[in-house]
């Protein structure tokens, strides 16, 4: 039997972490006051389950949603493709989120998807999104009501599924708490910028063009444009100049 590094054995075989370790993770989350630290801690813990990526966001009626994913570590080109093609209209995971209340595995959704929906799965796999586990949390109001974690092959025991379910709910709850605390202080909650979005903001602020930023980061100019749209949306801004100035003016980033 091959056991992933860091796994703990119990009567049901190898599990990603034991209950004490999970509770320690939750305790650390509850003591954090910065969304970037929360995201980094969540990324670290899901690696114990064989997951390399995650997304968190708001899923509502897909005919009304523009870009429902708030935080994501998906490959940039896939994010840009997903948004450009407006795949949330046909993405089976988005639709499953609307009607399901319990966590679900992507493989189960694939089996009942239409031909158009299965095409989204095939396209996602080409970008490295092979196997996923999604946790809806409709009982939580606010900008996040779903979390998805992704790995090459998620072959979990029932205890691992239950553990990941719990961790995802606490992750979402912690982010929501930080946003609410910002509102209680009459401050706009700090948007959760990805590392790449911060790079784009900094390069644009230094006077680089989108073409130059694309060359520096090794991505396409369309992907730079995708990141700028996400930044504008998170800041509720309308111009490129605002997108560069506002993160520093509001104290979200430091020069």
For the segment 153-206, what is each residue's pLDDT rounded down to a tens digit?
Answer: 999 988 899 999 999 999 988 887 876 665 444 455 556 777 888 888 888 887
Class of domain 195-249: mainly alpha
Domain 11-184 part of CATH 2.40.50.100: no
Compute CA 115 distance to the chain's CA centroid, rounded to the nearest angstrom: 26
- Greater confidence, 205 or 255? 205
Domain extents in the chain: 11-184, 195-249
Please provide the size of the chain in residues: 255
DSSP sequence for 189-255: PPP---HHHHHHHHHHHTT--HHHHHHHHTS-HHHHHHHHHHHHHHHT--SHHHHHHHHHHTTSS--
pTM of the model: 0.71
């Amino acid at each position: 039997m091959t056991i992933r590094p860091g796994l703990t054995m119990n009567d049901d075989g190898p599990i990603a972490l034991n209950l004490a370790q999970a509770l320690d993770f939750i305790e650390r989350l509850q003591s954090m006051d910065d969304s970037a630290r929360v995201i980094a801690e969540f990324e670290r813990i899901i690696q114990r389950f064989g997951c390399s990526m995650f997304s968190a966001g708001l899923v509502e009626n897909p005919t009304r949603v523009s870009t429902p994913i708030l935080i994501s570590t998906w490959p940039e080109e896939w994010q840009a493709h997903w948004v450009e093609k407006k795949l949330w209209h046909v993405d089976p995971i988005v639709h499953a989120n609307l009607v399901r209340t319990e966590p679900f595995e992507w493989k189960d959704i694939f089996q009942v998807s239409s031909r158009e929906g299965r095409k989204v799965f095939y396209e996602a796999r080409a970008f490295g999104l092979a196997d996923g586990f999604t946790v809806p949390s409709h009982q939580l109001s606010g900008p996040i009501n779903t979390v998805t974690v992704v790995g090459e092959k998620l072959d979990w025991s029932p205890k691992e599924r239950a553990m990941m379910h719990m961790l995802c709910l606490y992750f979402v709850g912690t982010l929501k708490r930080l946003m609410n605390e910002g509102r209680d202080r009459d401050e706009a909650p700090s948007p959760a910028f990805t590392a790449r979005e911060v790079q784009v903001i900094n390069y644009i602020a230094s006077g680089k063009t989108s073409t130059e930023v694309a060359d520096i980061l090794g991505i396409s100019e369309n992907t730079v444009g995708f990141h700028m749209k996400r930044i504008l949306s998170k800041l509720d801004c309308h111009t490129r100049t605002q997108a560069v100035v506002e993160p520093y003016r509001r104290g979200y980033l430091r020069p």
